[in-house]
Amino acid sequence: MDIGVIHTPQTFSQLGILVLDGSGSMAGSTPGKISKAQAVSAAVREMLTRMSVSRHMRNFYFAVITFDGQARVHTPVTPVADVDDNADYDPMRGHGGGTNIGAGLREAQQIAEGFLRTAPDDLPASVVIVVLSDGLDFDPTGSMRLADEIRNNPRITICSTYFAEVGALEPAAQDHLRALASNPGIGFKTIYDAETLRKFFLASVSAGVNLSV
């Protein structure tokens, strides 16, 4: 427990699921001279650190999924106080193949529905799925169909972000990621670096709670 932080009692349960692209193109560079995969890991760690010292931390849970052609659960549903903010969240570990966003979404849907099914009845529960990718989806039609199915549940929100490279933006990939979001106007962002990604992650998973980003 952090000295000096007064933690408020739990008043809701919100699960943030990060769905992180680990395809081979994530080895591309960023303005910070690190790979996009390394920038993702740094952004996740910093976001978790910020959440772990928030006075609202008792309300939040996290899960992390990585994917290329297939998806893996990196971190199962865990209270934010127990999440390791020093862990390696590089999505390319064990991946490096193509991009199948649908595989990540399918895994996220199962986790989200399980969380809501077992959540206490006396507290409002919700899930925010944050999808990050940097390239063209192997099966965009299948991913959109799955996103539509997920968004039919009013307690699940999808946010999305396109990790672009300076001077190498792919409009088709950007448009596809935007279309996956429940509310493209505020739930989608194109980013180029770790700091902007950290801010987007934090703003997405803490929706409805006033936290500095």
Look at the chain and report how many structural domains it folds into.
1
Residue 212 lies in a domain: no
Residue 32 lies in a domain: yes
Residue 8 lies in a domain: no
Are the C-beta atoms of residues 23 and 134 closer than 8 Å to each other?
Answer: yes
User: Residue range 91-118: average pLDDT?
Assistant: 97
Residue 106 lies in a domain: yes
CATH of the domain at 30: 3.40.50.410
107 pLDDT higher than 70: yes
What is the per-residue pLDDT for 70? 97
Residue 206 lies in a domain: no
Domain with 168, as residue range(s), is 13-192
Residue 6 lies in a domain: no
Residue 113 lies in a domain: yes
What is the per-residue pLDDT for 166? 87
SS3 content of the chain, % helix, strand, coil (to 5): 40, 25, 40
> DSSP label at 110?
H
Non-local CB neighbours of 79 within 8 Å, separated by 6+ positions: 58, 60, 61
Of residues 210, 187, 205, the one with CA closest to residue 14: 205
pLDDT digits (tens, 9 = 90+) for 12-55: 999 999 999 999 999 999 998 899 999 999 999 999 999 988 88
DSSP codes joined into one string, 149-208: HHHTSTTEEEEEEEE--TT---HHHHHHHHHHSSSHHHHEEEE-SHHHHHHHHHHHHTTT
